[in-house]
Amino acid sequence: MSDDIWILGIIMTKFGKHPDKDVVDLASEAAMGALKDGGVTMKDMGILAAGNLMNASAGIGQQLQKQIGQTGIPVYNVANACATGATALRTAIMAVKSGEVDMGLAVGVEKLAGAGLLGAGGTPKSDKKEWAPSGRYGAVTSTDGRIGTASMPGVFAQVGMEYGHKYGGTSFELFAKIAEKNHAHSTLNPLAAYTKRMTLEEIMNDVMIAYPNTRSMCSANCDGAAAAVVVSGAKLRTMSLEQQRRAIKVKASVLTSDPYEEGCQVLPNVNTLTRNAAKQAYEQAGVGPQDLDLVELHDCFATAELVHYDNLMLCEEGGAADFFNSGATWRDGSMPVNVSGGLESKGHPIAATGIANIWEVCHHLRGEAGPRQIEGAKVGMAHVIGLGSACGLHILERSGL
């Protein structure tokens, strides 16, 4: 088994609308970019893990091979909600860690521009007027809006409102201020889908999607891809000093799902599996929240960012509102969160997001983030969560060279 795992090369494409490129084009761009960034080729790869959600049945990994090199290696096609990219990376990490291969490639890609609201479910399974107990679903009518909602804006609106009801301190304006921060951060990220600073008034007066989230407080559906090359410590030590210097150590790689809780059988719970992942990651990495220099977390909505301050233990339990109001999460604060602009500005091409969040952290740990660089960053965390449910968490550390 490998003693340690490193990210050797990593890249994300420009997120946004790419009508001239399909998923294979975008995945190829990211894969070739990551290989080049790591100074290696497909011939060096022992495994390919390819993440894609919207076209999951198409075998994106095999299609990608035809563009970047068919070397006969095992291919894993991964689909795991919004944690798809992080799961693809973890698949490659586990293969390297097991000693089966010494290098692997993970890719996440999505074409999502113009997709509209995601996750609306609970559609009728029968046109008849009476309930028929056939199969797993036998409902005459939609459950959406009757026992909660399955649309993503609605779910995360409820998550934020529940947190405020339980702990207090939240308001429409507070959630809007989180989006204001992320849109301000985006102006320093040329790869973000949107790089426009927005005033608090603009955000609060934008189209209401699901209270308290307006349109500019929601993640942006867009196209994009990201990819990473992982390598064993033993293999890395045979490579050039420059490759070793730029490599980023994977201190923790964790994937969780929902444990049984009575409440989450009706309404999704984004909290427990994230908190469980954070506990495991801190223990695995041998660090605590106070050791993190930056965090990229899954702000699919402004309300989600707030609750994840608490779930990731960046603040004391119930203290997320006060933590944000302290200014800690701004780029020049004590715990910068979503310096990339977050999903609200950078965009959220589902399967690409998990690796893109890791790319952002790696960029800072390498000292290559340009005007948005967090000076002296040594340790960072990347977090994604997908309903269904899955939470991917990685803690990363810069090379000591």
Residues carrying an active site annotation: 82, 348
> Measured between alpha carbons, how far is 104 from 228 in angstroms, rounded to an integer?
8
Give, rounded to a whole angstrom, the gap between the first and last alpha carbons of the chain.
24
Instruction: Give how far Cα 296 sits from Cα of 36, 104, 315, 374, Å.
Output: 24, 23, 15, 13
> Measured between alpha carbons, how far is 158 from 175 in angstroms, rounded to an integer?
13
Beta strands in 3-101 (DSSP E): 5-12, 48-51, 75-78
b/e per residue, 128-148, with b = 16+ CB within 10 A? eeeeeeeeeeeeeeebbeeee
Least Cα distance to 363 among 14, 5, 37 occurs for 37
> Measured between alpha carbons, how far is 106 from 284 in angstroms, rounded to an integer?
22
Q: Any idea which residue has 């046109």 for tokens?
A: 127
> Measured between alpha carbons, how far is 294 from 374 in angstroms, rounded to an integer?
8
> Measured between alpha carbons, how far is 102 from 254 in angstroms, rounded to an integer?
20
Residue 97 dihedral angles phi and psi, to the nearest 5°: -60, -35
Amino acid letter for position 82: C
Omega before 389 cis (within 30°)?
yes
- Quick count: other Cβ atoms within 10 Å of Cβ 236? 22
Beta strands in 79-236 (DSSP E): 103-110, 208-210, 213-214, 224-232
> Measured between alpha carbons, how far is 389 from 381 in angstroms, rounded to an integer?
20
DSSP class of residue 65?
H
Least Cα distance to 351 among 312, 380, 386, 303 occurs for 386
Instruction: Give how far Cα 246 sits from Cα of 165, 173, 341, Å.
Output: 45, 41, 24
